[in-house]
Structures are given as C-alpha cells and as structure tokens.
Amino acid sequence: MVEKALTNKKIALCASRKIEEMSTLITKQGGIPLSRPAQGTMFFNEELKQQLYRILNEQNDWFIFTTGIGVDTLMKKADEWGIGEKFLQAIRQAHVAVRGYKTTNVLRTYGISPHITAEDGTTQGLVHALKAVEWTDKRVVVQLYGDSAPSLQQFLVKQGALYKEVWPYLHTPPTPDVMKQLVDEIISRSVQAVCFTSAIQVRFFFSFVNEWGYIREIKRAFGDNVVAVAVGKVTKEALHEEGIARVIAPDHERMGAMIVELAQYFDKQ
C-alpha cells in the first residue's frame, strides 16, 4: 500500500475559520492537524448599525467590498435590523468593486455582480483596477476587513473621492499561550508544517516571536525541516517580509489547494 503524502506529519493551522474543512483534507492525506489560531475576530454591533443607517441615508456611487465574511456579516446584520432589503437596494443602485473571488461569490448569492474585480485578489491589484474610474466627488463606501487598507484609502482620497469606511469586524491578537505552544513546536521540530491563511496571522505570530527573542530559531526551523505554507500571494509575501525564504503556496488562493500543494511538496521529498 502506497503511503499517503502527509502520513504522521503534524500540520499546524493558524486560521480561525474553516478549520474543520482543512483538518479533513489533512487527515485524508494521513496527516495530523493541529489548531493553533494566530488571530481572533471581534464583530461590531452598535457602531456598525449607526454606519449602515448613515449609508442608507445618503446616495452612494460606489461600494467597494474586500472580504466575503465582511459582505456576509453586513447582509446578515442589515437583515437582523430590518434594513436588509434597503441595503441591497442601495448596493444595486451603485457600482460595485471587489478585492477577491470569495467576495465575488458571496455577492452573487445576493444577486449582485461586481463591475470591477482585482484579478490577483490583492489590495494592490484592486487599486490598479480602480485607476480606470473617474473618482472626483464620487461617494464611496469601503468595507474594510479587520485591518486598515491605507493604500486604497490614499488612492481614493487623492483622486477626489468622498471616502467612507464600514468595519463589520476587527482582527484581534491571538492568545499568547497558543503562540508560545506553536513557537515551541516549531523550534523543537515537533510540527512538520505551519499553514497561514492571512497576512495578519503572519504579522501577529512574528510580533510574538520577535518580542520573545526567538526569531533566529524560528528562521532556522523554517529553513530546515519545518515548512511554512501560505494560502496565496499576499500571505506568502508577508512571510517573505519576515525573512522566511521557503514558502509553499498554491497558484490559486484556496484553502483546499494549499493542503494539496503541501501534500505534493512532501511527496517529492
């Protein structure tokens, strides 16, 4: 019987969502998934309610959505507060731009097709796509994703847009105990791979690593026999910025594709 690619390999998952799906894929390949969330999520209520009412009281020319979970949260909250249909109407009457494929998919479930999409799913790619539009005096609502997007804001404001932000949720730092456990597991080589699914997870993790003075050991482990894995381009770049040279990532940003890519990597070893 052919041994599966991830047999007996411990794979740490830094995501806070879709853990079950990734764990199932890892288990099917013979691996052992370990949940080590490197970010938390805090959802807003009262502030968000005020923001949505303000949006509905104004005529908006553009809505820019940056995450699927953000769109979903906005729609569900608007429904909960009895303004769901009004909110959908406001979006349908405006132009829509999106950052990634997940966002597009969620919008389509509400019958909304974006006019502009970032081809590579990055904020940079979105800014590039938005250059074709005349922004002077256009009222723009930007849904942010737990982390500010200064390049997007600067671009729109510089182009003369009337810029507003809506924050459905904020990313919160992970538990230090969980990060300490992960740091120990990486340094002792008791995990064989660590999967990051967002740049913010990378930033949170390395802020702890730097604070505790383990950066040399972590870099050595990731250069040796612990594999750093990223879900896509932005997360991969975040790891490179932290000095991690070898990063495994799929061509298409999907969590499933990331696990398949990791299995193929181990298969070749």
261 and 247: one domain? yes
Is 154 in the same domain as 179? no
Looking at the DSSP assignment, which residues form a beta bridge with residue 164? 141
Per-residue pLDDT, 147: 63
pLDDT at 2: 55
Residue 238 belongs to domain with CATH number: 3.40.50.10090
Cβ atoms of 189 and 226 within 8 Å: the answer is yes
Each residue's pLDDT tens digit, 176-208: 999 999 999 999 999 999 999 998 999 999 999
Mean pLDDT of 62-80: 94
Residues 157 and 195 grouped into a single domain: no
Q: What is the mean pLDDT of residues 45-68?
A: 92
Q: Evaluate whether residue 16 is within a structural domain.
A: yes
Domain end, chosen from 147, 171, 195, is at 171
Continuous segment of H or E residues that includes residue 63? strand 62-65
Query: How many domains does the chain fold into?
Result: 2
In a domain, 1, yes or no: no
pLDDT tens-place string over residues 165-175: 998 888 889 99
pLDDT score of 240 more than 60: yes
pLDDT at 268 over 90: no
Place of tokens 């298969």: 267
Percent of the chain exceeding pLDDT 70 equals: 98
Would you put residue 111 in left (φ > 0), alpha (ψ -120 to 50) or beta? Answer: left
The verdict on 50 and 17 lying in the same domain is: no
- Residue 46 inside a domain? The answer is yes
For the ranges 123-127, 138-142, 225-229, the lowest mean pLDDT is seen at 123-127
The values of phi and psi at residue 50, to 5°, are: -60, -40
Asked if residue 225 is part of any domain, the answer here is yes
Cβ atoms of 85 and 120 closer than 8 Å: no
Kindly tell me the number of DSSP H helices and DSSP E strands found in the chain: 12, 12
Q: Report helix, strand or coil for 153.
A: helix
Q: What is the pLDDT of residues 85-110, one digit of tens each?
A: 999 999 999 999 998 888 999 999 99
**In this structure, are residues 139 and 160 in contact, taking their beta carbons and an 8 Å threshold?**
no
Beta bridge partners, 195, equal: 13, 229
**CA gap 233, 127 in Å, rounded:** 16
- pLDDT digit string, tens, across residues 130-176: 999 999 999 999 998 766 677 899 999 999 999 999 988 888 899 99
Which of 171, 188, 214 is the last residue in one of the domains? 171
192/243 same-domain check: yes
Any domain includes 107: yes
What is the distance between the alpha carbons of residues 74 and 105, in angstroms, rounded to a whole number? 15
105, 194: one domain: no
**Same domain (yes/no): 77, 97:** yes
Q: According to the model, what pLDDT value does residue 135 have?
A: 97
**164 shares a domain with 47:** yes
Its pTM stands at: 0.76
Per-residue confidence band for 262, with pLDDT thresholds at 50, 70 and 90: very high
Say whether both 151 and 62 belong to one domain. Answer: yes
Domain span including residue 218: 10-39+174-268
Q: Which two tokens stand for residue 63?
A: 């809505």
Give the pLDDT confidence score for residue 16 in this predicted structure: 85
User: Does residue 26 sit in the same domain as residue 89?
Assistant: no
SS3 string of 105-151? HHHHHCCCCCCEECCCCCHHHHHHHHCCCCCCCCEEEEECCECCCHH
State phi, psi for 85 to the nearest 5 degrees. -65, -40
Angstrom distances, CA of residue 45 to CA of 16, 52, 161, 251:
20, 11, 27, 36
- Position 146 scores a pLDDT of 64
In a domain, 128, yes or no: yes
For residue 3, being part of any structural domain is answered with: no
Beta pairing class for 169-172 and 95-98 = unpaired
Query: 160: how many CB neighbours lie within 10 A of its CB?
Result: 12
Q: Of 113, 148, 171, which residue is a domain's last?
A: 171
Instruction: Say whether both 160 and 180 belong to one domain.
Output: no
Q: Does 261 fall in a domain?
A: yes
If pLDDT is split at 50, 70 and 90, which confidence band does 1 have? very low
Residues 112 and 67 placed together within one structural domain of the fold: yes
d(CA 194, CA 215) in angstroms, rounded, equals: 15
